[in-house]
Structure 1
Amino acid sequence: MPTVPSIPAPPSSAAYDPTLLLTVILSLLIPVLYLFRSSKKSSSRKLVIFGPVGGGKSAIYHRLRFGRVVPTVSSMTVTSATFVPNGLEGKPMHIVDVPGSGRLRAQLLEQVSDASALLCVLDGTQLSAQAREAAGILFEVLSHEPVARRKLPLLVAVNKVDSPGAATPTAARKAIEQEVQRVRLARTTLSDTSGRDKKLSGIAEDDGRPFSFDHLETNTVVFAAISATKPELSAVHSLLKRLG
């Protein structure tokens, strides 16, 4: 009968070089760790732009990204990109423009959950209607748990400062505070459907005083006048510089 060649037994674990094995493992882990760290860094430099419909959010976004204002219409799509904002130097940052439609409120809350700064834009020439809508949006954003537990800087930008009759930041703040007070009284309660007490905090906490942004301990709020067309974006640039 022909002789069947013997098959060599596989090397035992003792035959493996531990140094070589460690080198292979590290070569696989290092790229993964690098991507993880890069992801954390980009998420720590994220600005979310939001506010009432027609406030000028997209104009601000395009001014920051391209250095110019392009014709825009009301959109139902979130726009985002990572870039170095026009007029600034340094590392790129992730900037998100969320349309003002109430149907996108869930997407707004998702975007602000990992934001590092917030920019609420409203039309200063339409203060009465814009303040009412802005108050409702700000209430939802600032009472959102991932935002409420972190000290995020918030800039409320009163747009179209170069237009006749545009509201001042002081007038806008007073109008929005009054509207937030109405929203808070309408939306908050001390008992849920089971009759158990709820602990309310931040913008939702009714301590008996008229609402003021000064009462917020979790957020730094600044009101400023801006213009996307003039342009006058110094307040926005100051906010972005805080991101490092």
Structure 2
Amino acid sequence: MENLEDLKILAEQWSHQGIEYLQKIPPSQLYAAIGVLLFTTILLFLSIRLVTRTKSNTVLLSGLTGSGKTVLFYQLRDGSSHQGTVTSMEPNEGTFVLHSENTKKGKIKPVHLVDVPGHSRLRPKLEEFLPQAAAIVFVVDALEFLPNCRAASEYLYDILTNANVVKNKIPVLLCCNKTDKLTAHTKEFIRKQMEKEIEKLRASRSAVSTADIANDFTIGIEGQVFSFSHCCNKVTVAESSGLTGETAEIQDFIREYIKP
């Protein structure tokens, strides 16, 4: 007990000495010291975030069930189409050098690719991976686009208004898959239709509440018709075909943000 009392007395003495010392410092010097300390703390915090972001090598494949994400996953991994692959109920995950880069000499940075299930009940899985994502590939079925346009747009809207995506400015590739088919819609048609649907979603959800309950952020510019160019993060559009192995635009997108 005596030791505890001694510690209390010592702590009080240090406290009084500290207050007396601070009182002797001119206010201008004290404020300058506090300012420098705050600036240094903020700079250190931003530096840690920047280093963390640049080191990430995770790319997420997301989109509705049946859009062809899993086929693209295997094409990027080993060049196989896996035509008999069933709907994924668990994320397909792997870290590897992209298949087309296997013949290149020298050390190439591997990519951590995650194929997130598209079923509505399994979409919360996406939330688990978003904090570590360097980029997102949102896959749309260009062949069966119109019947799924609304659902795909709602899913993409939820991604674009997610806090992790907005704050970290995670780039998104709107990937129009199965474009090898003659009746597939073009990427420009898909882009315009999804922008229209997202504009409707913006209007309907903002009418319910000024703060969208289901989403972290709002997107777009007030008073203007929505365009992907209005997003805080970069959104680009590309075409692919998992079955024929046409994945060049996806690979270019991945390597834009995960340098080899």
Mark yes or no: TM-score above 0.5.
yes
Distance 1:93 1:191, change over 3 A: same
Partner SS, residue 175 of structure 2: strand
Q: What's the counterpart of residue 183 of structure 1?
A: 201
1:225-240 map, 5 Å: 225-240=239-254
Corresponding residue to 1:96 among 114, 138, 156? 114
**CA–CA distance in structure 1, aligned partners of residues 67 and 77 of structure 2:** 18
Is contact 1:43–1:115 with CA below 8 Å preserved after alignment? no
Task: Find the aligned partners of 1:42 and 1:79 in 2 and give their Cα distance.
Answer: 23
Equivalent-residue separation in structure 2 for 1:166 and 1:192 (angstroms): 37
Q: Which runs of 5+ in 2 are unaligned?
A: 1-51
C-alpha distance in structure 1 between counterparts of 2:66 and 2:203, whole Å: 27
What secondary structure, in the 3-state scheme, does the structure 2 residue paired with 1:125 have?
Answer: coil
Deviating above 6 A after TM superposition, structure 1's stretches of 4 or more consecutive aligned residues are: none
Confirm or deny: 8 A CA contact 1:148 1:202 kept in the other structure.
no
What is the alpha-carbon distance in structure 2 between the residues aligned to residue 72 and residue 58 of structure 1?
Answer: 7
Alpha-carbon distance between aligned partners in 1 of 2:141 and 2:174, rounded to the nearest angstrom: 11
Deviation by residue 1:121-169 (Cα, 9 ceiling, x = unmatched): 1111111123222211111111111111122221111111110111111
How many angstroms apart in 2 are the aligned matches of 1:83 and 1:179?
Answer: 36
For 1:65, the aligned partner's letter is R
Among the aligned pairs, what percent are the same residue?
Answer: 31
1:57 aligns with 2:72: no
| TM-score in terms of structure 2 length | 0.70
Give the 3-state SS of the residue equivalent to 1:94 in structure 2. Answer: strand
- Match of 2:89, SS state, is coil
Bigger proportion of residues as helix: 2
Looking at structure 1, the residues matched to 131 and 147 of structure 2 have their Cα atoms a distance apart, in angstroms, of: 27
Structure 1 Cα separation of the partners of residues 193 and 127 of structure 2: 24
Residue in structure 1 matched with residue 236 of structure 2 by the alignment: 222
State the one-letter code of the partner of 1:214: S
Which of the residues 225, 233, 245 maps onto 1:210? 225
- Residues 50 and 99 of structure 1 are in contact (CA less than 8 Å); yes or no, is this contact kept in structure 2? yes
Residue pair 2:134, 2:171 contacting (<8 A) in 1 also: yes
Give the number of equivalent residue pairs: 198
* 1:74 positional shift: 1.4
| Equivalence map 1:24-63=2 (5 Å) | 44-63=56-75
* Residues 150/42 of structure 1: CA separation in 2 closer, same or farther (3 Å cut): closer
Deviations 1:67-108 (A, max 9, x none): 111121112211111111111251111100011111112111
Instruction: Measure, in 1, the Cα distance between the counterparts of 2:81 and 2:164.
Output: 32
**Structure 2 contact 63–152 (Cα < 8 Å) conserved:** yes
77, 80, 90: which is aligned to 2:90?
A: 77
Residue 213 of structure 1, CA deviation: 0.4
**Alignment CA distance shift 1:169-1:93 (3 Å):** same
Mapped contact 1:151–1:219 kept (Cα < 8 A): yes
1:132 aligns with 2:155: no
- When residues 145 and 237 of structure 1 are mapped into structure 2, their CA distance, relative to the original with a 3 A threshold, is same
Counterpart of 1:113, as a letter, is: P
Using structure 1 for the length normalisation, give the TM-score: 0.75
